Amino acid sequence: MRNAAFGALFALSLTTIVAAEEIGASSAKFWSAPQVGALPYDAHGRLVRRGRDLITATYSHIGPDMPDPAQRFAGNNLACGNCHLDAGVKKFGLPLFGLAEDFPAYSARAGAEITLQGRINSCMTRSMNGRPLPVSSEPMRAIVAYIQFLSQGVRKGEKLSGLGAGTMPELDRAADPARGRDIYQSRCIGCHNIDGVGVQNSLPGLGAGYAFPPLWGSDSFNDGAGMARLITAANFIHSNMPDGVDYLHPRLAVDEAWDVAALMISKPRPLRAGLEKDYPDLLKKPIDAAYGPYADGFSEEQHKYGPYGPIRAKLKEIEKEKGEVKNPNSGR
Ligand code: HEC
Ligand code: HEC
């Protein structure tokens, strides 16, 4: 009994805070995600709470089914929190903590500096397949206030552990959607449903969000989204799926995660126009961007599914010749 309670507490703290042992329990630098519930109900407290609601129930506030067309910004019924897990505080669940001070930041995808608002809008137009939120709009101010709140006490340039989705070893073969189909049937279909369509929330009147979100099809993220890239998707799935798993207790083998991610990105989804203009500096294009052009002469197919070893080697060669910067594998 005591052990079970301790286990549950331990598991919770592992996913929601920076584990003490990683930074030394005695360190004064111990940082845990701030609690929204600790805020007073003043103007700032209300704005931060509203921001969290926008993350966890996006569809009910700026979704495609809003009665007022002016409030329809997202093009699908996902919630930001379907990917930014536990309202953005789960380690390796694409957390939104500790990063506000990093912006404005150079974006390889845009080929220019972008603000935090610009980064949010890139998820609005890709992951949410919608249109950008005006910078001074109330929902944008609320989301920014929430993300800033989650970065409280974190200095510019300080990197908390647990950001992103993880970096598991890569395969020396292409990831295989056909193998992924069997894994999907046995490990995912019970929640994400036949043909990846997901399962809608059951309570009427609270917006058309999902109990289990779609993984492909018309109400999913579009082909320009970070989750449409194999390395991001495979690591996210390995660190977080089946739902309830955390990065310390994965239930999928590494190759299973690669193959089921390959199945997901092989499926049809909304298309974003103009993707060929992303990453104007091709040497900074993430290796798993599934759309050309590329600097390295490898096919879209190999960029989409790997293996990545040969592409990395080639890029290194080109960089050496140019005496230039490294290819960062992140699409901020
Ligand atoms: C389908 C999954 C998905 C959804 C839905 C989604 N995002 Fe994201 N988001 C991502 C991924 C993947 C990344 C990281 C991409 C990368 O850098 O590799 C990301 C990155 C971000 C970042 C930058 C994080 C960093 O580490 O710099 C912010 C801020 C963000 N998203 C906000 C939002 C907001 C706000 C929403 C809802 C309006 C949203 N996202 C919806 C997948 C998603
Ligand atoms: C027990 C139910 C369950 C199982 C099994 C499960 N998932 Fe999920 N999955 C979820 C839920 C719930 C979310 C949204 C998380 C949230 O909102 O907190 C999610 C989110 C996701 C997302 C990001 C959101 C999106 O719509 O793209 C991906 C990708 C994903 N799951 C892939 C998988 C894959 C692949 C498998 C099989 C290996 C799997 N999941 C198994 C419940 C499940």
- Tell me the two tokens of residue 144: 């920014």
Residue 332 confidence (pLDDT): 44
Ligand index nearest the alpha carbon of residue 62: 1
- Tell me the two tokens of residue 90: 């789960």
Residue 320 CA to its chain's centroid (Å)? 31
84 lines ligand 1 (CB under 6 A): yes
Classify burial at 204, counting beta carbons within 10 Å of its beta carbon; exposed 0-12, middle 13-18, buried 19 or more: exposed
What's the whole-model pTM score? 0.91
pLDDT tens, position by position, 46-68: 999 999 999 999 999 999 999 99
- Tell me the two tokens of residue 265: 């990105």
Atom 1 in ligand 1: which residue has the minimum CA distance? Answer: 127
**Is the alpha carbon torsion for 163, 289, 331, 149 positive or negative?**
negative
Atom 17 in ligand 2: which residue has the minimum CA distance? Answer: 82
16 lines ligand 1 (CB under 6 A): no
| CA 240–ligand 2 middle distance (angstroms) | 8
160 lines ligand 1 (CB under 6 A): no
Atom 27 in ligand 1: which residue has the minimum CA distance? Answer: 332
Nearest atom, ligand 2, residue 56 CA: 17
Ligand index nearest the alpha carbon of residue 53: 1
Q: Are 248 and 201 spatial neighbours (Cβ–Cβ below 8 Å)?
A: no
Ligand index nearest the alpha carbon of residue 76: 1
Question: What CATH fold (topology level) applies to the domain 14-22+36-149?
Answer: Cytochrome Bc1 Complex; Chain D, domain 2 (1.10.760)
Residue 326 confidence (pLDDT): 56
pLDDT tens, position by position, 74-113: 999 999 999 999 999 999 999 999 999 999 999 999 999 9
Atom 12 in ligand 2: which residue has the minimum CA distance? Answer: 212
Atom 14 in ligand 1: which residue has the minimum CA distance? Answer: 226
Residue 327 confidence (pLDDT): 58
Classify burial at 131, counting beta carbons within 10 Å of its beta carbon; exposed 0-12, middle 13-18, buried 19 or more: middle
CATH architecture of 165-332: Orthogonal Bundle (1.10)
Domains of the chain by residue range: 14-22+36-149, 165-332
Q: How far apart are alpha carbons 175 and 7 in whole angstroms?
A: 35
Residue in 232, 208, 216 with CA at minimum distance from that of residue 289: 232
Q: Are 73 and 64 spatial neighbours (Cβ–Cβ below 8 Å)?
A: no
SS3 content of the chain, % helix, strand, coil (to 5): 45, 5, 50
Nearest atom, ligand 2, residue 214 CA: 26
Ligand index nearest the alpha carbon of residue 108: 1
Q: Judge if 14-22+36-149 and 165-332 fold alike in CATH terms.
A: yes
Nearest atom, ligand 1, residue 55 CA: 37
**Residues in the chain with pLDDT values less than 50:** 1-21, 23-28, 330-332
Residue 257 confidence (pLDDT): 98
Cis peptide before 204 (omega within 30 of 0): no
Residue 56 confidence (pLDDT): 97
Residue 108 confidence (pLDDT): 95
